[in-house]
Amino acid sequence: MKKTLLSIVASVATFFGATLQSFGVSVSNPLIYSDVPDPSVIRDGNKYYMVSTTMHCAPGVPIMMSEDLSNWRTVNYAYQTLDNGDNQSLNGGKHAYGKGSWASSLRKHKGKYYILTPSYTTGKTHLFSTEDIENGTWDEVRLPFYHDPSLFFDDDDRAYIIFGSGEFKMVELNSDLKGVKNGETKLNIPIDQTTGTNGYIVKCEGAHMEKVDGKYYLFAISWPNGKCRTELVFRSSSLTGNYEGKIALQENGVAQGGIFDTPEGKWYAMLFRDSGGVGRIPWLIPVTWQNGWPTMGNQAARSVDLPNAVEPAYSMATCDDFESTTLPLEWQWNHNPDDAHWSLSARPGYLRITTGRTDKSLYWAKNTLTQKTFGPKCSGRVALDVRGMKDGDVAGLVALQDSFGFVGVEKQWGKLNIVQQKTVTRNASVPFDGETVYLRIDFDFTKDRAYFYYSTDNQKWNAIGKDIPLPYTLGMFAGYKFGLFNYATSQAGGYADFDWFKVGEDVYDEIYLGQIKEPEVVGPYNEVAANIPGVVEAENYNTGGNNISYYDKDRSNRGGEYRKDGVDIYASDEANGFAIGYCEEEEWMNYTVNVAEEGEYTVSVRASEEGEVEAGTIHASLSNETGDAIDIEVGSTGAWDVYDEYVQKNRISLPAGESTIKLTIKKSWVNIDRLTFTKYDPSDVDLTEADKIVVVTSPSTIKIIGTDSSFKAEIINAEGKTVCVSDKTEIYTSGITSGVYTIRITTDSNVVCKKLTLK
């Protein structure tokens, strides 16, 4: 087995980069033989950053970094989820295929990075910003929709958006970049005069505005009738025009993108070309300046001299043994994931995908995990443990685009079959009675065909079904991807365990990209466990990431306060600082606590609830490491910013020392400030109600007299253990040994404890 360890290759290339600058390596175009459309590139010191379009996938708008222009790695994403509506989440028969986020614009201004992204799903243009492009999270502002926008900061710090299809317009942003000033300006761009025609497939779009030596340069794509996709450039001494134009490049369909320079003063353009099933792939074009015009030659350069050779797979795909607690950045979900139904920890060393609903086909399946394919040829394979599948489940490996095809395992009537299918047409079915099957797809982009295989021993591969064509169509508007999937057609709850995913240039090749980021440490916030007895602040849940230390449905901090990970936190004076809010059913948080003494603890919750709430409504549950849980009840406080303290009727048992507790939301839209834990003492007596409640014992019963509401009675022995729980006014004592006990009576309004002796 040929195994490529790119982390070593990359470090060697970086080490020798300065030396190789003087010699150079001839690197062939396409620079990246994989689907990286709509590139927008900036240079920041000695590093280059590029963003691209990933449509409906999540996370989205990948940020790629290079130090040599040869090799690029994904280092971050602009967002985890673009929007949480039905379209982006594949709910209610809706989808965002071919939509999501489109051509983005990347800029740096005054120490801050900006990405401007239009979306045909939200109908908005999303402006993301951060001070740390590689490791930071991104703040977001939503602006009106602008097609293929270019974000431009002029020398006077004023910010503009140049946009359009068929014609170009411009708007100015407010100084805080949170809104748009009134009015649009139409730019006078001589498109017909530049192309020499008035007939087009696409007249113009894909704006990229740059300023070089005091002049404004607007780059755009045009597609004249009878010609190929064409890169145009327009020049003016003022931002609003008048502009004059030239054809920058009209050959082989290489077009759409902007220009940038190197520290040595060389100039390049990063453009792309439509290339069939593999997608829209980037070309790096040398740029020279002649009479104040950037020129790209009469044909798209087939090779470029760069410091280093390009790494295998163009750093777009990687093997994954699923040994980490996080997924490599090369993975993207097909639409928003349902984080409650996938896991890297349910079975360590495996990716588990659990069905959360039924779907009519793979097209609608949630939690399909994808990686890009690459050319000219590539091969991907998985090891799949099928023991958790239920009747009606289908799991496997897919070549994902509109005309998708897959090889997988289907379970029906308790029987397993290895199947191959093109969209909804079944091409082959082979009985299978094992536990683990190996599935493989080979892509040949020189022919735009995909081929399907299976194995029962990972040694001998058997072709199955029919190979499929790989047309590039606009439904998904993306190149073919590898996809790991599991969906249910009959009943939810089955699961598929993927042991590994291998990818390479052929079946013998394994490409492992070096890890860009270390997984987030799983543990207490700020590395300090909360002490019990004491207060646990709700916002101080454990670190480690979504679906590991917490689960939040929208994957972003909607309150935007305190922390930058997924749980929604907002500032509140009433909460003495911060509270978790926007809580939705099934979300949860883990907390590492240090318990001074083993035993039962009374829990008090400080929370707010605006709505009308019936008595006894359960808002959350609190569980220990053994899974024992108590219900958390919260009453109505009348407003979100009004908090009250709620002592819980039930107690939680905790072991001494460090352990983990889990807070799970059971009713949406409660806000929680803190949890206070007090060691339970059964001798505590509340005298306000003690006088009117009488407990009478006899040899066989305990009678409770004087309660005027529902209650719960607990009989607790001298060791503090509860031996009986009842809501009856007469409790039979058979089975309870003689001795001295405490009876704890919890009513709607109070808690009463009394001593009693059983003989």
Q: What tokens were used for 581?
A: 């809010």
38-315: CATH superfamily: Glycosyl hydrolase domain; family 43 (2.115.10.20)
Over residues 304-309, the mean pLDDT reads: 89
Is the CB of residue 334 less than 8 Å from the CB of residue 483?
yes
Q: Is residue 383 over pLDDT 60?
A: yes
Q: Give tens-digit pLDDT for 97-150.
A: 999 999 999 999 999 999 999 999 999 999 999 999 999 999 999 999 999 999
Output the average pLDDT for the chain: 91
Please state which of the ranges 377-386, 400-409, 617-626 shows the lowest mean pLDDT. 617-626
Q: Look at residue 22 in the predicted model and tell me its pLDDT.
A: 38
Q: Is residue 11 over pLDDT 60?
A: no
Q: Give tens-digit pLDDT for 155-184.
A: 999 999 999 999 999 999 999 999 999 999
Minimal CA–CA distance to 207: which of 189, 192, 219, 216? Answer: 219
Over residues 739-749, the mean pLDDT reads: 80
Confidence of residue 752 (pLDDT cuts 50, 70, 90): confident
Q: Give tens-digit pLDDT for 604-642.
A: 898 998 887 776 678 889 999 888 899 998 888 888 888
Q: Look at residue 719 in the predicted model and tell me its pLDDT.
A: 67
Q: Give tens-digit pLDDT for 461-506.
A: 999 999 999 999 999 999 999 999 999 999 999 999 999 999 999 9
Q: Look at residue 708 in the predicted model and tell me its pLDDT.
A: 64
Q: Which residues contact 694 (CB under 8 A, 6 or more apart)?
A: 704, 705, 706
Domain(s) labelled CATH 2.60.120.200 in the chain stretch across: 332-512
Is the CB of residue 95 less than 8 Å from the CB of residue 88?
no
Domain(s) labelled CATH 2.115.10.20 in the chain stretch across: 38-315
Q: Is residue 457 over pLDDT 90?
A: yes
DSSP string, 161-222: EEE-SSS-EEEEB-TTSSSB-S--EE----HHHHHT-S-EEEEEEEEEEEEETTEEEEEEEE
Q: Which residue has the tokens 């607690």?
A: 325
d(CA 117, CA 149): 7
Over residues 311-321, the mean pLDDT reads: 90
Over residues 439-446, the mean pLDDT reads: 99
Percent pLDDT > 90 in the chain is 71
Q: Look at residue 9 in the predicted model and tell me its pLDDT.
A: 36
Is the CB of residue 378 less than 8 Å from the CB of residue 313?
yes
In this structure, CATH architecture of domain 525-679: Sandwich (2.60)
Over residues 521-546, the mean pLDDT reads: 92
Q: Give tens-digit pLDDT for 655-710.
A: 999 999 999 999 988 999 999 998 887 665 444 445 556 777 767 778 777 776 67
Does the domain at residues 332-512 carry the CATH identifier 1.20.1250.30? no
Q: What tokens were used for 724?
A: 């009986």
Q: Look at residue 24 in the predicted model and tell me its pLDDT.
A: 66
Is the CB of residue 551 less than 8 Å from the CB of residue 345?
no
Distance of CA 564 to the CA centre of its chain: 14
Confidence of residue 153 (pLDDT cuts 50, 70, 90): very high
Peptide bond connecting 198 to the previous residue in cis, omega within 30 degrees of 0? no
Phi/psi of residue 409, each to 5°? -120, 135
Domain(s) labelled CATH 2.60.120.260 in the chain stretch across: 525-679
d(CA 366, CA 479): 19
Q: Is residue 340 over pLDDT 80?
A: yes
Is the CB of residue 371 less than 8 Å from the CB of residue 329?
no
Q: Give tens-digit pLDDT for 25-56.
A: 899 999 999 999 999 999 999 999 999 999 99
Answer CATH for 687-758 from 2.40.110.10, 3.40.50.2000, 3.40.630.10, 2.60.40.10: 2.60.40.10
Please list the residues that pair with 500 across neighbouring strands: 383
Domain(s) labelled CATH 2.60.40.10 in the chain stretch across: 687-758
Confidence of residue 274 (pLDDT cuts 50, 70, 90): very high
Q: Measured on CA atoms in the order 411, 414, 416, 422, is the torsion positive or negative? A: negative
- Which one has a higher pLDDT value, 242 or 647? 242
d(CA 445, CA 471): 10
Q: Give tens-digit pLDDT for 185-238.
A: 999 999 999 999 999 999 999 999 999 999 999 999 999 999 999 999 999 999
Q: Look at residue 471 in the predicted model and tell me its pLDDT.
A: 97
Question: E strands along 213-310, which residues?
Answer: 215-224, 230-236, 244-249, 259-261, 267-274, 280-290, 293-295, 303-306
